[in-house]
Chains A and B, each alone.
Chain A
Amino acid sequence: MPSLSFDIAHLLAGGMLVLSFVLLYQDRIIAVLNVFAWQAIVLSLSVAWQAVAQDAPHLLVTAAVALVVKGFIIPTALHRIVRRLEIHREIEQVIGGGPTMLTGLGLVALSIMLVAPVKEGVSIITREDLAFALAVILLGLLMMITRRNAVTQIVGFMSLENGLVLAATGAKGMPLVVEFSVAFSILIAFIVFGVFVFRIRERFDTVDVGALDRFRGERRDHP
């Protein structure tokens, strides 16, 4: 019989997975950014709960870093980018909403099946967190593949990183040094992305990465 502690861990990790699906489903840019912020907040709650459940206070630092950096700083910066690019009212053409959702469900099933054989030496919470984290990572990758707007691709990448943090906390936490370096590399990556998005915009007058394909001469069917 699962205890309340397990139920809350399940609720938070499951909530992250659900929010990953919402990210995949949502096609308004502002809404995508808000959902991403929510995912980061749920992630930090989940990590904080693990800190309480595993009696590992250093995980609280991880939770705080996730909350501040990914729950507030990055979404706010993305909001500003989107406004400056004047694409905040844009509704993105998601490539095949139905097939994408089905692929996403398949990926979740795949990650559950992959983690299923791991039985020895891990608690059920760890195994469950690993399964959910793998699913969140794969869904982030899927989002990067299916989106054509550079900003939502960045969101896909960031949500992939949320999955990594979830995996790391499930496995008895990671060292603080690693945690901070990951957080900083995310920030650096974000700055690089930001610069890059503006460069794309300057060069092609759009942030639709389809324009890059056409520029390279890979797709001539849509002039």
Chain B
Amino acid sequence: MALITDLGLQALQMFLVVVIAPFVLGVTRKVKARLLRRVGPPLLQPYRDLWKLMHKEAVIARNASWLYRVVPYVVFAVTWVAAALVPTYATGLLFSWSADLIALVALLGTARFALALAGLDVGTSFGGIGSSREMMIASLAEPAMLLIVFTVALIAGTTQLSSIASIFVSAPPGLRVSLGLALFALMFVGIAENARIPIDNPATHLELTMVHEAMVLEYSGRHLAMIEAAAALKLMAYFSLIACLFLPYGMAMTDKSQTAIAIGIASYLAKILMLAILLPIGETSVAKMRVFRYPIFLGGAFAAAALAVFLLFVSRGF
């Protein structure tokens, strides 16, 4: 019986993220439109888009290989696993031993690799340029991400997300510059990875500087639906990661009573909603960057993360 309850709680976490991911995307779009004094699409529009795309014919280029058909499903599956690994409303769930930060980075890297291959597959110039830029961003963002992982792991003494969250709540690490720098770097990396302004514009469909949209330009129908859902899930994964590492308050820890879980879910939704409102505010206050300035933007994130690790070494007394 206990096992069934545990499985149920784990399944709840897995389906929670996939169900609310399009809604969170809808919130960011709505807030952004309101900030620009437009009405904006309804909050449920991303669900309708996915439904519509699912029922449309998938047009596939004549020279597309099997890779092109498989990649959307691979990307969706891998991103879903990544988003479901991050503890959302509770720690210490049945599969939380697998929720490792390094595994998370590897999963997201796999999804990106598959998508970049698919962008190259058909052989159009846009797909190629998108893939090449995506790889450039990844080569700059991943070192920064790994340094963030090191920082958090050095403070908490583990790379398991669930344990990190419970350690941060039960034994607060105090006032730490390193954690602040890590949060700052994680926000930069998240912006770059999720193709948001100033790195990429998520609202564009034909522009010379686009990155993510350029890669998926050839996709249509159910394949495009999978990719869009995966993009929403990736945003969720980063939001959940920030919430889990830096705001782990309110999560259900050891006691798994109904009230604790209800508080956990409510606080999780509140945190995600707050991040979903803050992101477009940040986005509307900056201008899109030139492609050649990406290294400087992400170099800032890398420097911040490296500095966080260094500061940690000093304060730990070597």
A6 to B304, CA, bound (A): 22
Q: Are B307 and A18 in contact (CB under 8 A)?
A: yes
Chain B 159-174 residues near chain A, CB threshold 8 A: 174
Is B40 part of the binding interface, using a Cβ–Cβ cutoff of 8 Å? no
Query: Which residue from A98, A104, A131 sits with its C-beta under 8 Å from B296?
Result: A98
- Contact: B303 with A128, CB < 8 Å? no
A-contacting residues, B163-193, CB 8 Å: 174-178, 181
Give the Cβ gap from A122 to chain B, nearest Cβ, in Å: 11
Q: Is the C-beta of A167 less than 8 angstroms from some C-beta in chain B?
A: no
How many angstroms between the C-alpha atoms of A90 and B307 in the bound complex? 29
Q: Does A66 contact B (CB under 8 A)?
A: no
Question: Which B residues lie within 8 Å of A145 (CB)?
Answer: none
What number of B residues sit within 8 Å (CB to CB) of A?
22
Q: Could you say which of B177, B181, B295 contacts A10, with CB atoms under 8 Å apart? A: B177
Contact with A along B293-318 (1 / 0, CB 8 A): 00110011011101100110111011
Name the B residues within 8 Å of A127 (CB-CB): 314
Specify which of A98, A105, A112 is in contact with B314 (CB 8 Å cutoff): A112
User: Chain B nearest CB: distance from A197 CB in Å?
Assistant: 27
Q: Which of B178, B302, B307, B318 contacts A108 (CB 8 A)?
A: B307
Nearest opposing residue in chain B for A94, CB measure: B296
List chain A residues, Cβ under 8 A from B304.
18, 21
B140 to A, closest residue via Cβ: A98
* In contact, B315 and A128 (Cβ under 8 angstroms): yes
Main secondary structure of the interface of B (DSSP, over half): helix
Q: Are A112 and B177 in contact (CB under 8 A)?
A: no
CB neighbors of B among A1-22 (8 A): 2, 4, 6-8, 10-11, 14-15, 17-18, 21
**A116 interfacial contact with B, CB 8 Å:** yes
- The interface residues of chain A lying within 8 Å CB-to-CB of B314 are 10, 112, 127-128, 131-132
B174, B296, B307: the one contacting A97 at CB < 8 Å is: B296
Option from B178, B303, B313, B315 in Cβ contact (under 8 Å) with A105: B303
Q: Which residues in A have their C-beta under 8 angstroms from that of B175?
A: 4, 7-8, 10-11
Q: Does A164 reach chain B (CB closer than 8 Å)?
A: no
Q: A4 to B178: give the CA distance in the assembly, Å.
A: 15
- The answer to whether A18 touches B296 (Cβ under 8 A) is no
In angstroms, Cα B259 to Cα A99, docked, is 53
For A99, the closest partner residue in chain B by CB is B299
CB-CB under 8 A for A101 and B176, given A109-B310, A124-B317: no
Whether B306 and A105, one on each chain, are in contact in the complex, defined by CB atoms closer than 8 angstroms, is yes
Cβ-closest chain A residue relative to B302: A101
With A and B bound together, what is the CA distance between A8 and B176 in angstroms? 9
Q: Is the pair A2, B299 in contact by a Cβ cutoff of 8 Å?
A: no
Give the shortest distance, in Å, between A173 (CB) and chain B (any CB).
21
B307 near A10: Cβ-Cβ < 8 Å:
no
Q: Which B residues contact A (CB, under 8 angstroms)?
A: 174-178, 181, 295-296, 299-300, 302-304, 306-307, 310-311, 313-315, 317-318
User: Can you list 12 A-B pairs, Cβ within 8 angstroms, ordered by A?
Assistant: A10-B175, A11-B177, A15-B177, A17-B311, A18-B181, A18-B307, A21-B304, A97-B295, A101-B299, A101-B300, A105-B306, A112-B310
Q: List 10 extra interface pairs beyond A15-B177, A97-B296, A101-B299, CB under 8 A.
A: A7-B174, A7-B176, A8-B175, A11-B175, A11-B176, A11-B177, A18-B181, A104-B303, A105-B303, A108-B307
